[in-house]
Structure 1
Amino acid sequence: MDVIRKQGLLNTIISYAGMVIGYVNLVLLFPVLITDPNELGLTRFLVAVAAIYSQFAALGFTNISARYFPYFRNRDKEHNGFLFLMLIIPLAGFAVVTLLFVLLQPAVVDYFGKNSPLAVEYYYYIIPLSFFTLLFMLLDAYLRSLYKTVVQSFLKDFLERVLMLVSVVCYAWGWVDFKWFLVLFIGANSAISFISIVYLLWLRQFFVTPNRNMFQVVPMKEVVQYGLYSFLGNVSSSVISFIDQAMIAHYLGLDGVAYYTTGYFITSAIMVPSRGLNKIASPQVADYFKAGNFKALGRLYKNMTRVNMVVGFLLFLGIWCNVDNIFALMPKDFSQGRYVILFMGLSRLFDLATGINGMILLTSHKYRYDLYFNLLMMALVAYTNYLLIPDYGISGAAFASMVVFIIYNFFRVVLVARFFKMQPFGWDSLQIVVISIVAFGASWLLPQLPHLLLDIAVRSVLITAVYGGLLVAFKVSPEVNNGIRKTLVRFGLPDVKWL
């Protein structure tokens, strides 16, 4: 847990710095600098399509790295050719997916042509964006297996967003037209892949030559079988995340995608601590399975859940209690995403509250069940979006996603409890929920202050004081209390024993 805590803290700091830039980009600047909501929606649509495109091409190898790299790890033997396998097979998959992508172009024109013509006009821009998305995914998975996560967090969560801001500013100031802006936008998403290669060369871990032992370390039949299930699971999971945007683009147009994804992004701040911790927890879960240390895995499961809930609930309160203030800073039309924030925020809270259940299932020999649930959820999210988007717009899409992800995570918790006799909840989980309700009540009782920024500041301080004070007073999280004690001692203040 010490390794997870140290790198998780660094990842979280970097992620929040990136989140600030991302918030400034997507919430404050992009809606103003890119005056046409359809153009803004197109940038987010391209990124969403590239994500699912790359998952098809990856053939499950990002999960293969997490599960099997501990068996290949041997620096003297260049990790038995593992990186060569990680790259060569997905790149072959990319070639096949690209061929299918070209052949499917007429069907895409028919589906999106009426309400989202820009998606058709810039269809082939998706190919280079998808290639570099895939390359970064593979290199990132490999580096996570090496317990090297901080630089990758910096590249993805910080540097990429800075480069995206530069590209948007170039377009807004008239230095480039929209086509060249998209080229710069793709370049911003691609640069981090090249830097990852440079980083691996600097680490002397860029082993891309084949090794005669790479097919003998573990049975290839087992690897291929696991890779197939992981591939189907990753694809179905990506499809679940993409269906809402695709159906919004079909029924409402790319401007609807812009409004929906803005609300979606605002709630993504809730998941930043979880992503930072999960990057380093993933290889540790694999090591625990290899060693058969289920007691330590159970402790990790509960500790990760508690830490994620403590931070996640505070962030949700900060966002939802300030939702009117947030939309006051944006063009009026973006307020359509109000209930997107509510429903997706609740969805993310439930995801945090159920811990690393998906990571445990995917790393274990029960990984097939995650695929089965993904396929079921994919059908469910498509059906619920079909029912709700025409009548309820982007709020209906968000509600459908919330229902799907709650059901999905509930069944994953049940499966982990059944197969491995561990579950993430304790009395501390209930305490966090109750404290959150009290903090929300305090914010609700505070009247709206006349100045926007003053209201944001006072409301946020009130929520933090009530939430944090009760959290510390009832000793809900040992991590928080110990952190306060260590901080006091570091600054020469007396150790507070009651903490």
Structure 2
Amino acid sequence: MKLLKNYVQNFLNRSGSYVFTAAVVSRGLSFLASWLALQLIPNKELGVVLFAYNIIAFLTPFGGLGLNQSLVRYGALLKNDEDKNNLFVYVFKKGVLVTVGIIILIVIFSYLFPFKFENTSNYLALLSLVLIPLFVLNIIQIQFRLKHNNKTFSKADIIYNLTLVISVLIFSYFYQEKGYIFAIILAPTVTSILFFKKLNINFSIQNKLEIVNYSFWKYGFYSGVTTVVTNLLVAIDIILIGHLMENPEMVTAYKYVSIIPLSLLFISQAFIATDFVAFTEKINDKKYIYTYIKSYMLLFSLISLLIFGFAFLFSDAILSLFSKDFVIYSESFLILIFGIFGILIFRGLFGNLLCSIGKIEVNSYIIGIALIINIFANYYLIPVYGIKGAAITSAILMWFTGLFSYLWFFYLYKKMTVHE
């Protein structure tokens, strides 16, 4: 118990409570926006929009060619706000330009690819526009973090999700699926405009920074690819269900059955977001790292047991919050809940620890292998078991990626030269 107490206390000392609270509120608002869309838009039409949006969702981290990730890493190395502002201006200008190019490619692809669902091409082309405001909002939030203004960083996240809820309610009510698409684009646009002014950056003055070189772009690109492949691992279920079952209502069902399991990841994300800098700074202190690992795994093992117990008892009631039609998928829901524990306990921690020791590419290899397995497994399981087959595949791969991250971290960490 002392181990847990110290771990939680250290988390709170690093303002973890504020980050966690903001994450809870944002998740709740995001959940509400999804629920409103389900109530206001027919399942068939909503399924087509969700099918298109999932394609955009896994491409979102590649907006700006991953320069937002370069801003995080290299911006943290800069000593003064003036240099950080200059770097932001560079990333903003180059990132938006690159994102426009990506949007053009998506639009061309959307009208060349023979999608099976009607209007998919139009929806995909329209939704691609969200890449620009999402990229801008992301680098704005990163800039607040670089200046140690976590309060405004978290506030921007809450405002974004609140704007999304209001927009979905209004525009989906009047314009159904077209209004939903507009709301998705409007929310990050409005939030970006509101918080852009708070940065107080002079765009007319910019000095060339030495860190902006080939390595800067390479890091961003590599990070973007890694995140895209990770997101594709999640999105591929929706895409393959739509492709193999040819029923947009099944796409909608799986999307909402998986919302709560995937939303639970915010718990570990809040802890890692708070502690990442701390354990990276002490990555060569084996005693500290091992203590952190034990504390984290103990806490999230207990959290996982509590979550599964609650989900097992109330799965029908939870799914009926969306629609009574989804209760028949309670078994798939529980399978996904169990799978998520592989991320909460293992991958969430050890994937980030691999980044801390400079081995981010290992994450890419693990996720890449999992993606290949996912595609082959789902091509067999989805036609046989429906969305339950997709849930089984996802759950197995969540544990696969988590355990392999765990094994690779300890293998590589023991090889490091550690300063005692």
Q: After TM superposition, is the score higher than 0.5?
A: yes
Distance 2:307 2:153 in 1: 24
Cα pair 2:238 2:251 within 8 Å, conserved:
yes
Distance 1:137 1:244 in 2: 26
Summarize the Cα distance change of 1:280–1:94 in structure 2 as closer, same or farther, 3 Å threshold.
Answer: same
Distance 2:70 2:357 in 1: 12
Superposition pairs of residues 166-181 of structure 1, within 5 angstroms: 166-171=166-171, 173-174=173-174, 176=175, 178-181=177-180
Question: Which amino acid is 2:93 matched to?
Answer: I
Cα pair 1:67 1:363 within 8 Å, conserved:
no
Cα pair 1:163 1:188 within 8 Å, conserved:
yes
Distance 1:229 1:51 in 2: 18
Aligned partner of 1:364 among 341, 357, 369 = 357
* 1:199-241 C-alpha deviation (Å, 9 max, x unpaired): 433xxx787853333337xxx4544443343232122112212
Deviation at 1:273, TM superposition (A): 2.0
Distance 1:190 1:49 in 2: 20
Question: Which amino acid is 1:69 matched to?
Answer: G
Alignment pair present for 1:200 and 2:199: yes
Deviation at 1:23, TM superposition (A): 3.9
Distance 1:223 1:25 in 2: 36
Superposition pairs of residues 340-351 of structure 1, within 5 angstroms: 340-351=332-343
Distance 1:338 1:143 in 2: 41
Distance 1:247 1:121 in 2: 20
Secondary structure of the structure 2 residue equivalent to 1:356: helix
Percent pairwise identity = 19
Residue equivalent to 1:396: 389
Aligned partner of 2:91 among 74, 86, 89 = 86
Deviation at 1:244, TM superposition (A): 1.1
Deviation at 1:247, TM superposition (A): 1.4
Residue equivalent to 1:73: 79
Deviation at 1:25, TM superposition (A): 4.1
Superposition pairs of residues 138-157 of structure 1, within 5 angstroms: 138-156=139-157
Question: Which amino acid is 1:266 matched to?
Answer: I
Cα pair 2:64 2:95 within 8 Å, conserved:
yes
Secondary structure of the structure 1 residue equivalent to 2:207: coil
Aligned partner of 2:105 among 78, 81, 100 = 100
Summarize the Cα distance change of 1:104–1:288 in structure 2 as closer, same or farther, 3 Å threshold.
Answer: same
Question: Which amino acid is 1:276 matched to?
Answer: A
* 1:284-312 C-alpha deviation (Å, 9 max, x unpaired): 344445xx445434443443333444434
Residue equivalent to 1:415: 408
Cα pair 2:60 2:228 within 8 Å, conserved:
no
Cα pair 1:59 1:230 within 8 Å, conserved:
no
Alignment pair present for 1:324 and 2:324: no
Residue equivalent to 2:418: none
Summarize the Cα distance change of 1:361–1:61 in structure 2 as closer, same or farther, 3 Å threshold.
Answer: farther
Residue equivalent to 1:54: 60
Distance 1:336 1:12 in 2: 33
Distance 2:297 2:197 in 1: 35
Distance 1:85 1:363 in 2: 26
Superposition pairs of residues 203-242 of structure 1, within 5 angstroms: 209-215=205-211, 220-242=213-235
Deviation at 1:265, TM superposition (A): 1.0
Alignment pair present for 1:296 and 2:288: yes
Residue equivalent to 2:3: none
Alignment pair present for 1:120 and 2:131: no
Q: Which runs of 5+ in 2 are unaligned?
A: 1-6, 416-420
Deviation at 1:245, TM superposition (A): 1.3
Alignment pair present for 1:19 and 2:11: no
Aligned partner of 1:270 among 256, 264, 283 = 264
Cα pair 2:168 2:179 within 8 Å, conserved:
no
Task: Tell which structure's C-alpha radius of gyration is larger.
Answer: 1
Deviation at 1:272, TM superposition (A): 2.6
Deviation at 1:349, TM superposition (A): 1.0
Residue equivalent to 2:17: 9
* 1:342-376 C-alpha deviation (Å, 9 max, x unpaired): 22211211111115211121233222222222221
Question: Which amino acid is 2:272 matched to?
Answer: N
Distance 1:338 1:3 in 2: 37
Residue equivalent to 1:184: 183
Question: Which amino acid is 2:162 matched to?
Answer: V
Distance 1:73 1:207 in 2: 20
Distance 1:17 1:334 in 2: 25
Summarize the Cα distance change of 1:199–1:315 in structure 2 as closer, same or farther, 3 Å threshold.
Answer: farther
Cα pair 2:50 2:252 within 8 Å, conserved:
yes
Alignment RMSD: 3.0
Cα pair 2:320 2:326 within 8 Å, conserved:
no
